[in-house]
């Protein structure tokens, strides 16, 4: 047997079919490997915590004005009460995001700080380098990670050493009570320092405030696993007691109760779903992203596998006489089977090696584009290896064994006469239809996703995003002072048109943060929930937002410190622009509405605009982003000059400035990532499907060489022959189109539903995708048949 | 009708030319019945293929009905030959998926005849060769002799002036072979020029003259 394969290798390597098999399969393996790595990474989030089955994130759910609202921001009193009053809960911890400047000697570094409870280190299993889970048991405990330690001290051995923290502008000294490892990349909670929640700003005032919700709460249950529905029932009384005021308001304002009759319910999201879930809009849903990846990689492997079968059959066809001869000289069916199986196993092994090599070549580029850190070596875990081995064995048995069985069972007499043809069967036709359906679905998805993304980036946002630079102010400098200095310095440049600021960025800037702040208040007896934006003077001018009525904030009007601007949506809530203008809002300080602006998209386009109130930074939130409108022919250079100015004002600035165009694009990074993967998947699927078609054409032509010759002798034109041979494939591809269209329509309609602003699916998108697939397929078939049709009949009709 | 002058055909094998036809000079008049004989590998089939333009010579002249075939455009040449030549093969070369009727009809479809015309011609041929009863059978359901009769009927469907037959009786027993030869004699009387290749002295004798081939040359 081995000697057989040895003698076959040179012939295998000379046959173009083997190469098509090899390359097709290798590309599929490379693609599937990369997608598999990605999916496994996404699914592995937070799996390193020992108690992962028992940990969950709390969120509240209500339904107001027809919109379901899920919110994981909690009030400070909640977590301690949850631990105390709910018997199901073993421990809970609050987690508040913040930034903190740390100093040691002349080294000063901004750290990503989480204010947490002492139980944080006990609930989670973040690996500790020094110290242990009791590190935060004392109020003044401070944990930093080893990277922080390294940059501050030049050493990881910093337990018990003192470091200075910048608290409200003053440097205070703290003793380091623990050093943690750098968070694993698959951790949904990331930090470079930890402090007790009680140390957070304004803790004393907010300790018992149920209306100020700014942090997440994680709980560890006593049960071995999380029963989300059970938890929700168990917390009904708790929520009714502590959120009485909120519930009354919801009832009064016509909110809807959920299936259990609760207006506001406390729910739990298992830790394993936290990374993939989006809490905020609508019902909490876990993203299917990793599963989409696994499905796509499975589909690609499936396409490649069925191709392998077709190609093996096609090439076996040319050896039908050899098989007949081998059988007459005593080769058993089993021996023939083994021979074919070994041949395909040989090609499979080569494909695997080539595929892995290809994957490791592609990974650096892939990592760079999609911001991952995968290595091929990660594949060699015992789970992956056994999975791969099993899949590989199955694949070779099917791909090698099936054609082997078909060929081995061929009738001896017929095969000796060279008459028997292994015709394309029902199975092969179905496989082709399936392959092309898959490829076309991916193609249609590609067209629709690309079009939607194009639509999003070109939709008017209500503000002018071009030529506006956004600068995150960051920690370590007084915001108002910084803005003042920027205004004064930039005034020297003629190309700087105006400077303003706000507390929330537009789009997603280089600091990676997006947020909104909302709150409700009672106006004329109903609760109005509005988004709130703290802005500086010249905001409308800088961002090109249209004023509909009234005026912008004005430094001349001293009373503007207690005035607000609202958007049209908000004005409509208040009974229309006429009524709203110059009236007062019944929120803190009762500000007067001095202006109404047109709606603009301060969120991404997945959401409707929503009501918005904007006020100057007095007593409200701090300004965090500076906006600079410029007018310049060299945007790159202007950005640099603005940045240089900013560096001279705030030398500690660590986050780069960026244009708003870029920021608004960044909002859809996730969608763009899915788009890229779907497009890549579609291309690979189409390429491999066409290889499959190539095989089938070859198979068909092999069986029809004589018929083609006869027909030519009888007077058929080449066009006629091409038509005759490709008619069947055209039908199969047409069938695939019919199958893929409704499926793609359904899938894409669901995907588009996530966007408040979306394109309508149109017939030409299907036509385009179908056309692309059909075009490639026809090229493959027509080329092959053309070659076959041109062959001189004298050579194919030779008598033997 | 057919005139070959200093015709050569060779295959290149490396630097060597292996000649299959060497300096063939041949003239065949309309209404002739020629039998070609010779040992295996002597180039009989090649000569027949060249006459039928299924294969091209490397050198020489070929005149068909007074026209210089090798100087013609491919398309025109194909039209000329498809209009005037019929081919019969040793192994019949019927299309397996088509019935007897459809096999005979195929060349007429390529000639763009109307279905009524096709029907008339095919029925006439089925009648003439006494195979009306077999018209709906597939080639695999016929004996070798019957298949060859269908093959000849198909070759005659386009009413060719010349019939080329490469060992038409090669796969048949002597009785069946005789029947085919009777058929050829009758066709020849009706005015069809026939050129056949055969290994059988007896069948060759049905022709008006016999060409002996040896090593690519006519003796
Ligand atoms: N494609 C080819 N390449 C090289 N040599 C060829 C090719 N086709 C035919 N030949 C050679 O041409 C010669 C003539 O072949 P041809 O088929 O005309 O013989 P034939 O007289 O018909 O023999 P038979 O009686 O066995 O049918 C043979 O020697 C054959 O080897
Ligand atoms: Mg011959």
Name the nearest CA neighbour of A95 among A128, A70, A124, A69: A124
pLDDT at residue A123 in the model? 95
Rounded to an integer, what distance in angstroms lies between the CA atom of residue A186 and that of residue A46? 6
Name the nearest CA neighbour of A34 among A354, A356, A347, A384: A356
The DSSP secondary structure of B95-125, one letter per residue, reads: -TTS-HHHHHHHHHHHTT--HHHHHHHHHHH
Report DSSP state, residue A162.
Answer: E
Q: Hey, are the CB atoms on A797 and B158 less than 8 Å from each other?
A: no
**Which residue lies with its CA nearest to atom 7 of ligand 1?**
B11
Q: Is residue A72 part of a domain?
A: yes
Name the nearest CA neighbour of A657 among A669, A643, A641: A643
pLDDT tens column, A469-525:
888 886 667 788 888 888 999 888 889 999 998 887 787 665 555 555 666 677 777
State the ipTM, two decimals. Answer: 0.82
Residue A38 in tokens: 């990605």
pLDDT at residue A317 in the model? 63
**Which residue lies with its CA nearest to atom 19 of ligand 1?**
B41
Residues of A with CB under 8 A from a CB of B: 706-707, 709-711, 713-717, 720, 792-795, 797-799
Cβ of B89 under 8 Å from any chain A Cβ? yes
pLDDT tens column, A277-319:
877 656 777 778 888 888 888 888 888 888 887 777 766 666 6
* Nearest-10 crossing angle of helices A2-14, A333-370: 50
Position A333 pLDDT exceeds 80: no
CA of A629 to the centre of ligand 2 (A): 89
Cβ of B188 under 8 Å from any chain A Cβ? no
pLDDT tens column, B92-123:
888 887 899 999 998 888 888 899 999 999 99
Name which of A706, A720, A794 is nearest B93 (Cβ-Cβ): A706
Q: Edge-to-edge strands of the sheet including B162-166?
A: B85-88, B162-166, B193-197, B33-37, B209-214, B217-218
**What three-state secondary structure class fits A552?**
coil
Backbone Cα Rg of chain B: 18
pLDDT band of A420, cuts 50, 70, 90: very low
Q: Is residue A62 part of a domain?
A: yes
Rounded to an integer, what distance in angstroms lies between the CA atom of residue A574 and that of residue A174? 50
B152 interaction partners in chain A (CB closer than 8 Å): none
> Are the beta carbons of A278 and A286 closer than 8 angstroms?
no
Report DSSP state, residue A618.
Answer: S
User: Domain ends where: A632, A654, A676?
Assistant: A654
User: What percent of chain A clears pLDDT 90, i.e. is strictly above it?
Assistant: 24
CB-defined contacts A:B, below 8 A: 45
Total domain count, chain A:
2
Mean pLDDT of chain A: 83
Name the nearest CA neighbour of A522 among A471, A572, A573, A455: A573
User: Domain ends where: A621, A654, A687?
Assistant: A654
pLDDT tens column, A358-385:
998 988 888 887 777 787 777 777 887 8
pLDDT at residue A146 in the model? 93
Which residue of B lies nearest to A710 if distances are taken between CA atoms? Answer: B93
Position A428 pLDDT exceeds 80: no
**Which residue lies with its CA nearest to atom 18 of ligand 1?**
B43
A792 interaction partners in chain B (CB closer than 8 Å): 54-55
pLDDT tens column, A171-202:
899 999 999 999 988 898 989 999 999 998 88
HSE-up (13 A, CA, CB side) for residue A364: 2
Q: Is residue A482 part of a domain?
A: yes
* Alpha helices (runs of H) in A582-717, residue ranges in sequence order: 635-649, 660-666, 669-713
pLDDT at residue A514 in the model? 58
> Are the beta carbons of B138 and B76 closer than 8 angstroms?
no
HSE-up (13 A, CA, CB side) for residue A493: 21
Residues 6+ apart with CB under 8 A from A405: A337
Dihedral angle sign, alpha carbons of residues A115, A121, A123, A126: positive
CA of B41 to the centre of ligand 1 (A): 5
Q: Is residue A189 part of a domain?
A: yes
The DSSP secondary structure of A501-533, one letter per residue, reads: EESS-SS--TT------EEEEEETTEEEEEEEE
Rounded to an integer, what distance in angstroms lies between the CA atom of residue B54 and that of residue A188? 74
What backbone torsions phi and psi does residue A277 show, to the nearest 5 degrees? -105, 155
Rounded to an integer, what distance in angstroms lies between the CA atom of residue A62 and that of residue A57? 17
Residue A519 in tokens: 């709150």
Alpha carbon A137 to its chain's center: 37
Dihedral angle sign, alpha carbons of residues A379, A380, A386, A390: positive
Question: Which residues of chain B from 16 to 55 reach within 8 Å of chain A, CB to CB?
Answer: 45, 49, 54-55
Alpha carbon B53 to its chain's center: 11
Name which of A707, A792, A799 is nearest B54 (Cβ-Cβ): A792
Element (H, E) at B194: strand B193-197
Q: Are strands A178-180 and A142-145 parallel, antiparallel or unpaired?
A: parallel
B95 interaction partners in chain A (CB closer than 8 Å): 707, 710-711
B49 interaction partners in chain A (CB closer than 8 Å): 794
Binding-site residues, ligand 1, Cβ < 6 A: B 11, 20, 38, 40-46
Name the nearest CA neighbour of A387 among A33, A30, A681, A24: A33
CA of B170 to the centre of ligand 2 (A): 10
CA of B37 to the centre of ligand 1 (A): 14
Rounded to an integer, what distance in angstroms lies between the CA atom of residue A359 and that of residue A29? 8
Cβ of B167 under 8 Å from any chain A Cβ? yes
Q: Is residue A198 part of a domain?
A: yes
A711 interaction partners in chain B (CB closer than 8 Å): 95, 106, 110
CA of B80 to the centre of ligand 1 (A): 26
Report DSSP state, residue A291.
Answer: H
- Residues counted in chain A: 800
Whole-angstrom distance between the N-terminal and C-terminal Cα of chain B?
Answer: 21
> Are the beta carbons of B176 and B96 closer than 8 angstroms?
no
> Are the beta carbons of A73 and A213 closer than 8 angstroms?
yes
pLDDT at residue A617 in the model? 81
Name the nearest CA neighbour of B62 among B41, B85, B42, B40: B85
**Which residue lies with its CA nearest to atom 25 of ligand 1?**
B40
Rounded to an integer, what distance in angstroms lies between the CA atom of residue A557 and that of residue B178? 122
What is the least distance, in Å, from the CA of B49 to any CA of chain A?
7
B2-218: what CATH class?
Answer: alpha beta
Whole-number Cα distances in Å, A157 to A130, A132, B59: 8, 14, 94
> Are the beta carbons of A58 and A270 closer than 8 angstroms?
no
Q: Hey, are the CB atoms on B55 and A794 less than 8 Å from each other?
A: yes
**What three-state secondary structure class fits A152?**
helix
Q: Is residue A123 part of a domain?
A: yes
Give the start-to-end residue ranges of the domains of chain B: 2-218
A638: burial class by Cβ within 10 Å (0-12, 13-18, 19+)?
buried
pLDDT at residue A251 in the model? 80
Residues 6+ apart with CB under 8 A from A325: A416
What backbone torsions phi and psi does residue A582 show, to the nearest 5 degrees? 70, 5
**Which residue lies with its CA nearest to atom 17 of ligand 1?**
B45
Neighbours of A224 (CB within 10 A): 8
Helix%, strand%, coil% for chain A, nearest 5: 50, 20, 30
Compute the CA torsion angle B132, B136, B137, B142 (nearest 10 deg): 20
Name the nearest CA neighbour of A289 among A724, A790, A675, A763: A675
Report DSSP state, residue A760.
Answer: P
Cβ of B176 under 8 Å from any chain A Cβ? no
Which residue of B lies nearest to A420 if distances are taken between CA atoms? Answer: B96
**What three-state secondary structure class fits B37?**
strand
Best of B93, B102, B107 to substitute, by most chain A Cβ atoms within 10 angstroms, is: B93
pLDDT tens column, A577-620:
888 888 888 877 788 999 999 999 887 777 778 888 888 887 54
User: Domain ends where: A654, A689, A720?
Assistant: A654
What backbone torsions phi and psi does residue A163 show, to the nearest 5 degrees? -140, 150
More reliable by pLDDT, A797 or B46: B46
Neighbours of B73 (CB within 10 A): 8
pLDDT tens column, A75-113:
899 999 999 999 999 999 999 888 788 999 888 888 889
CA of B88 to the centre of ligand 2 (A): 13
Cβ of B105 under 8 Å from any chain A Cβ? no
Name the nearest CA neighbour of B43 among B219, B213, B201: B213
The residues that bridge with A195 in the sheet, in sequence order, are: A115, A142
Q: Hey, are the CB atoms on A711 and B111 less than 8 Å from each other?
A: no
Q: Hey, are the CB atoms on A710 and B90 less than 8 Å from each other?
A: no
Dihedral angle sign, alpha carbons of residues A167, A171, A175, A178: positive
What is the model's pTM? 0.71
Element (H, E) at A341: helix A333-370
Neighbours of A797 (CB within 10 A): 23
* Alpha helices (runs of H) in A143-263, residue ranges in sequence order: 146-153, 203-206, 228-234, 236-242, 244-252
Instruction: Give residue A539's domain range.
Output: 475-654
Q: Hey, are the CB atoms on B110 and A709 less than 8 Å from each other?
A: no
What is the least distance, in Å, from the CA of A417 to any CA of chain B?
12
Q: Which atom of ligand 1 is nearest to the CA of B42?
A: 21
Q: Hey, are the CB atoms on B166 and A792 less than 8 Å from each other?
A: no
Name the nearest CA neighbour of A674 among A230, A242, A194, A289: A289
More reliable by pLDDT, A246 or A158: A158
pLDDT at residue A622 in the model? 72
Whole-number Cα distances in Å, A572 to A569, A612, A784, B121: 5, 11, 66, 85
């Amino acid at each position: 047997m081995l000697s057989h394969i040895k003698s076959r290798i040179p012939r295998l390597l000379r046959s173009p079919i083997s190469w098509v098999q090899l390359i097709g399969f290798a590309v599929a393996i490379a693609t599937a490997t990369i997608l598999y790595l990605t999916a496994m990474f996404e699914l592995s989030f937070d799996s390193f915590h020992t108690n992962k089955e028992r940990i969950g994130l709390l969120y509240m759910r209500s339904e107001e004005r027809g919109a379901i609202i899920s919110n994981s921001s909690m009030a400070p009193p909640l977590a301690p009460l949850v631990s105390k009053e709910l018997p199901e809960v073993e421990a809970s911890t609050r987690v508040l995001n913040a930034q903190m400047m740390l100093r040691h000697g002349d080294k000063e570094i901004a750290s990503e700080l989480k204010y947490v409870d002492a139980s944080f280190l006990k609930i989670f299993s973040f690996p500790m380098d020094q110290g242990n889970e009791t590190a935060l048991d004392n109020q003044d405990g401070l944990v930093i990670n080893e990277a922080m330690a390294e940059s501050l001290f030049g050493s990881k051995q910093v337990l018990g050493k003192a470091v200075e923290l910048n608290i409200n502008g003053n440097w205070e000294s703290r003793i380091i009570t623990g050093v943690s490892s750098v968070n694993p990349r698959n951790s949904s909670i990331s930090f470079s320092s930890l402090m007790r929640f009680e140390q957070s700003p304004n803790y004393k005032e907010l300790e018992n405030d149920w209306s100020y919700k700014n942090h997440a709460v994680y709980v560890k249950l006593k049960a071995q696993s999380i029963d989300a529905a059970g938890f929700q029932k168990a917390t009904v009384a708790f929520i009714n007691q502590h959120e009485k005021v909120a519930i009354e308001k919801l009832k009064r304002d016509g909110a809807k109760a959920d299936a259990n009759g609760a207006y506001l319910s406390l729910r739990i999201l298992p830790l394993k779903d936290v990374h993939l879930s989006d809490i905020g809009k609508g019902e909490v849903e876990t993203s299917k992203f990793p599963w989409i990846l696994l499905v796509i990689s499975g589909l690609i492997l499936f396409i490649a596998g069925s191709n392998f079968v077709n190609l093996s059959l096609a090439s076996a066809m040319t050896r039908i006489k050899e098989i007949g001869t081998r059988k007459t000289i005593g080769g058993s069916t089993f021996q023939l089977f083994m021979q074919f199986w070994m041949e395909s196993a040989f090609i499979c092994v080569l494909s695997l090696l080539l595929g892995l090599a290809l994957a490791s070549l592609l990974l650096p580029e892939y990592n760079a584009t999609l911001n991952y850190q995968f290595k091929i070596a990660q594949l060699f875990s015992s789970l992956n290896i056994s999975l791969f081995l099993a899949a590989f064995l199955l694949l070779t048995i099917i791909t090698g064994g099936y054609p082997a069985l078909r060929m081995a069972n061929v009738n001896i007499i017929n095969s000796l006469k060279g008459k028997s043809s292994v015709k394309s069967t029902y199975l092969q036709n179905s496989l082709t239809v399936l392959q092309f359906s898959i490829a076309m679905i991916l193609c249609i998805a590609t067209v629709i996703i690309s079009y939607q993304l194009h639509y999003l980036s070109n939709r008017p946002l209500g503000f002018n995003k071009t030529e506006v630079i956004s600068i995150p102010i960051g920690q370590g400098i007084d915001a108002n002072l910084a803005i003042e200095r920027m205004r004064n310095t930039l005034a020297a440049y003629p190309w700087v048109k105006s400077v303003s600021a706000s507390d929330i960025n537009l789009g997603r800037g280089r600091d990676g943060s997006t947020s909104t702040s909302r709150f409700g208040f009672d106006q004329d007896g109903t609760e109005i929930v509005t988004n709130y934006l703290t802005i500086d003077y010249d905001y409308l001018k800088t961002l090109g937002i249209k004023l509909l009525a009234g005026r912008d904030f004005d430094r001349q009007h001293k009373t503007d410190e207690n005035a607000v601007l609202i958007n049209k949506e908000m004005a409509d809530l208040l009974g229309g622009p006429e009524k709203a203008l110059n009236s007062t809002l019944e929120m803190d300080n009762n500000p007067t509405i001095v202006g109404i602006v047109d709606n603009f998209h301060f969120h991404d386009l997945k959401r409707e605009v929503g009501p918005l109130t904007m006020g100057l930074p007095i007593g409200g939130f701090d300004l965090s982003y500076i906006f600079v409108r410029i007018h310049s022919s060299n945007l790159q250079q202007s950005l640099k000059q603005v940045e240089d100015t900013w560096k001279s004002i705030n030398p500690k600035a660590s986050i780069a400035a960026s244009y708003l165009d870029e920021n608004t694009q960044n909002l859809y990074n996730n969608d763009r990532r899915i788009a890229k993967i779907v497009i890549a998947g579609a291309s690979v699927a189409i390429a491999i499907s066409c290889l499959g078609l190539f095989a089938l054409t070859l198979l068909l032509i092999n069986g029809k060489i004589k018929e083609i010759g006869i027909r030519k002798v009888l007077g058929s034109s080449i066009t006629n022959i091409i038509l005759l041979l490709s008619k069947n494939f055209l039908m199969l591809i047409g069938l695939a189109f019919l199958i893929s269209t409704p499926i793609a329509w359904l899938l894409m309609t669901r995907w588009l539903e996530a966007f408040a602003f979306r394109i309508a699916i149109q017939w030409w998108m299907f036509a385009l995708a179908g056309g692309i697939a059909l075009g490639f397929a026809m090229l493959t078939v027509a080329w092959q048949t053309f070659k076959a049709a041109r062959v001189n009949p004298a050579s194919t009709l030779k008598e033997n | 009708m057919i005139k070959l002058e200093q015709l050569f055909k060779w295959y290149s094998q490396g630097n060597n030319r292996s000649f299959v036809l060497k300096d063939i000079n041949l003239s065949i008049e309309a209404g002739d019945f020629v039998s070609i004989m010779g040992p295996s590998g002597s180039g009989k089939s090649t000569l027949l293929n060249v006459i039928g333009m299924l294969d091209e010579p490397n050198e020489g002249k070929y005149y068909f009905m007074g026209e210089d075939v090798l100087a013609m455009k491919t398309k025109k040449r194909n039209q000329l030959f498809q209009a005037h030549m019929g081919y019969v093969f040793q192994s019949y070369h019927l299309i397996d998926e088509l019935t007897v009727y459809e096999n005979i009809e195929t060349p007429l479809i390529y000639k763009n005849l109307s279905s009524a015309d096709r029907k008339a011609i095919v029925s006439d041929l089925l009648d003439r060769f006494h195979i009306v009863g077999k018209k709906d059978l597939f080639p695999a359901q016929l004996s070798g002799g019957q298949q060859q009769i269908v093959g000849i009927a198909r070759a005659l469907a386009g009413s060719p002036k010349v019939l080329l037959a490469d060992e038409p009786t090669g796969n048949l027993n002597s009785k069946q072979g005789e029947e085919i030869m009777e058929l050829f004699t009758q066709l020849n009387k009706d005015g069809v020029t026939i050129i056949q290749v055969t290994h059988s002295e007896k069948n060759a004798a049905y022709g008006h003259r016999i060409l002996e081939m040896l090593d690519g040359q006519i003796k």
